[in-house]
Structure formats: C-alpha cells, structure tokens
Amino acid sequence: MPGQHTSGSAPVPEEPGGPRYVAEYLERLGIGDPGEPSLSGLFALHRAHVERVPYEVLEIQLGRPTTADPRYAAGQVLKGRGGYCVQLNGAFSTLLTALGYDVTWHRAGVHAGRKLPPVGPAEPAPHLVLTVSVEGGAWMVDVGLGDGLHEPLPLRAGAYRQGPFTFHLGPSRFGSGGWRFEHDDGGAIAGLDFSMEPAGPADFAEWHPYLATDPESRLVRTVAVMRRDATSVDSLTGCMLRHVDDSGRTTRELGTFTEWYGALAEVFDLPLADVGPQERTALWTKVRGAHDAWLEARARRSAART
C-alpha cells in the first residue's frame, strides 16, 4: 500500500519558471519561443514533449532515489532523461505555467487491462492528468502515458484518431463531472478515469514510495520505456522491443547487453551517460534475469494448455 515504504531523497533544481529554465526546457524540446499562450502553441509543445522525452523508469530500476516533486522531474528532463507518468506531467506543467498557460492538475486512476475492473481517481492518486484552458476551450493534456496522446484532446465526448490508435473520451462513471479516457485496443493500458476536481503535488507524493520501491509495483517489476510520434510508437518492455504503426506491430527480442543499451540510445535517445560500467552490468543482469523468468513462465503456461 502507498505510504508503507520510503525512498531516499533526491536533489531537486531551483524553483522552475525563470527565463533560463524556460529556455533550457524549450531547447530540450527543440522548440523556439512559442509566443503567448495559444492552441497551436499548446499542440506544438505537447507533440514535442512526447516525441523527445520518453516515458521511462530506469532510475527506479537502478535503485536510485527519486521523487514525484515536479522540480525533480523537470531536472531529469533538462538533463536528457524522462520519467513515469506523474513525473512527466508534473514537469510539463511547470513549463506550461511558466509560459502563461492556465493549467490544472487532476487525480486519475489507471485501468491497466481490459480483463481488470476500471479504477476511479483515488486519493492519493497513482496518475496525474492535466487540463489546460486556452482560447475559450478546455483540453486534456497528458505527456506521461507513453503510447498515449500525441496531441491534446478536447474535453468533449468523441472518438479521436492519432497515428495508429483511436482514443475515446466520455463521461466517467466515477463521480459527477469526471472523464473516461479509453485507449485503443492495441494500447499499453485499457484507459483511465480522472476527476475534474483540482489537485496538487501532495495528492501524488504518497503513492510515489510504493511505485518506486515496492517489489509488487509495476515500475519495479519491469523495465518499461516508451516514446511516440505522429505515426508510430516504440516501446521496450524487459528485453522485448516493439514498434507499432498503421501497418501493424513488429517485435524483436534484444538478446545481448550491447543490443539492449544500443536500443536505449538509438530508439529512445537515452545514452545514459551518467550510468557507469558497474551499474550498466547490474541493470542488464537484472533485466535479463527477469526476462528469462518470464520466458520460463510463458513456456510452462503453453505446456499446460497442450
């Protein structure tokens, strides 16, 4: 349960928001001055973030201390790294706020798989969704879903095609006024439900120690790295590298240390310059061991069915 575990503190940068911070963040995204808040600017920032800043849990897998503090998350982004959902959306919110956008945090519950029941936006919450009000409209913003949104969605019920995926947005059954985001059948999750009640960092901090340290946490059990663009999604789960686009899905097993770290650098732009030889070896040994255990379990299930 959240709150049962504690992790070491991690350094955080100075309070984000100044001109230097904004300039460095925009440089990381490959964007020039986006000007005053606008819908076109929001779309450009969202696209750039999901294309250049991957969803990744490598700091957790390395056993390094991490936090859900948006300042820490922003520092990770600025040094060329990514993070998991709350961290990525928290960091992005600091940039949007510094640029003058009207940003609100919301608690969300992730529906992990279609064979599992949906999960409401609990308190404390394991997922953060942002909404942004701009040019008279309200938009769902989420750069932390990995293979999720490439662009913001209007807070209006409907179906929305983005690259290889079709998303649906509609009313949530959990509480009045909330929203249900349905991922594509080929997505990494089934969907999520989020409340429209405003939230803040404290609503997510209690879950972080569990997510970052508990052996039952999905972020601890399995390495996951994802990044998407307008037409496709790349994902790495354990040793399995997948690519999804309109033509279908391809999967490749990464069988060696060199292949695995090569994919991190070449596919996800994660050269991990701050990870030394001993840490690299330890991480690969952990990942490969978990992958071999998964292969053995899959073989046993297959044998049991025959």
Mean pLDDT of all residues in 273-296: 94
3-state secondary structure 154-202: ECCCEEEEECCEEEEEEECCCCCCCEEEECCCCCCCCEEEEEEEEECCH
Instruction: Name the nearest CA neighbour of 146 among 121, 165, 161.
Output: 165
Which residues contact residue 205 at a Cβ distance below 8 angstroms, ignoring those fewer than 6 apart?
67, 68, 69, 124
pLDDT(115) > 90: no
Mean pLDDT of all residues in 97-108: 97
Q: Write down the pLDDT at residue 180.
A: 97
pLDDT for 3-31, tens place per residue?
333 334 455 555 677 899 999 999 999 99
pLDDT for 189-245, tens place per residue?
999 999 999 999 999 999 999 999 999 999 999 999 999 999 999 999 999 999 999
pTM check: above 0.75: yes
Contact 165, 245 (CB under 8 A): no
Mean pLDDT over each residue of the chain, to the nearest integer = 92
**Tokens found for residue 275:** 């990870």
The residue behind tokens 């201390």 is 65
More confident residue, 86 or 119: 86
Q: Write down the pLDDT at residue 4.
A: 37
The residue behind tokens 């790495």 is 236
Continuous H helices in the chain:
19-29, 39-52, 58-61, 70-78, 85-98, 202-205, 208-213, 218-221, 257-268, 277-305
Quote the crossing angle between the two packed helices 85-98 and 19-29, to the nearest 10°: 120
Distance of alpha carbon 14 from the chain centroid: 23
Mean pLDDT of all residues in 40-50: 98
pLDDT for 141-194, tens place per residue?
999 999 999 999 999 999 999 999 999 999 999 988 999 999 999 999 999 999
Interior angle at CA 118, CA 144 and CA 55, nearest 5: 15
